[in-house]
Amino acid sequence: MTRAMSTLPADYFDALYASDPDPWKFATSRYEQEKYALTLAALPRGRYPSALEIGCSIGVLSRDLASRCDRLLAIDAAEAPLLEAKQRCADLPAVHFAKMFVPQQWPEGAFDLILLSEVIYYLSADDVTRLASCVTRSLCREGDVVLVHWTGETDYPLSGDEACDIFIGCMERMRIERRDRHSVFRINVLVDD
């Protein structure tokens, strides 16, 4: 398996969703359902005033996460999954969606929770560092950051472990509260120290 050398472009994701509206089976996979339940269980607080979900795809986790947030901004690099996510969450007025390609594009505002689930290994090491800087600037004092990543082999620029380790190494003001390692994925929870 040959790895990509640089951040995967937005058109990579456009092509994936053009060939399959749910390429990772977020809506039907037992793996995804288990991962989502464990992700929500790992959140340090019962409720967040404002949250940012990076890489929301078709909004399956967004819908569940919304029950824990007063406001949720969910972003993705591809348009097609955002349309489905908007439909999936149409009855949730506190959930908003935006097309953004991080770290080049970044939302305004401050967030009490920033969730990055299965997304940062698509970035180069330099872009992971830039992403960590964006997250640091946008995180409220006493905010939480949650990373969830598959740990198997990839042809992406980084493995899940590499991406998470680089990101965590850049988050100087944060303390690791949880390091959960499951059979094929990891969850890291960082809290503002």
pLDDT at 162 over 70: yes
pLDDT at 193 over 80: no
- CATH class of the domain comprising 29-192: alpha beta
What's the whole-model pTM score?
Answer: 0.96
pLDDT at 3 over 90: no
pLDDT, one tens digit per residue, over 20-42 is 999 999 999 999 999 999 999 99
Torsional sign, CA 55, 108, 112, 166: positive
Residue 143: what residue type?
G
Give the span between the Cα atoms of 102 and 105, in whole angstroms.
Answer: 5
* Residue located via tokens 């995967």: 8
User: Residue range 115-139: average pLDDT?
Assistant: 97
Confidence of residue 14 (pLDDT cuts 50, 70, 90): very high
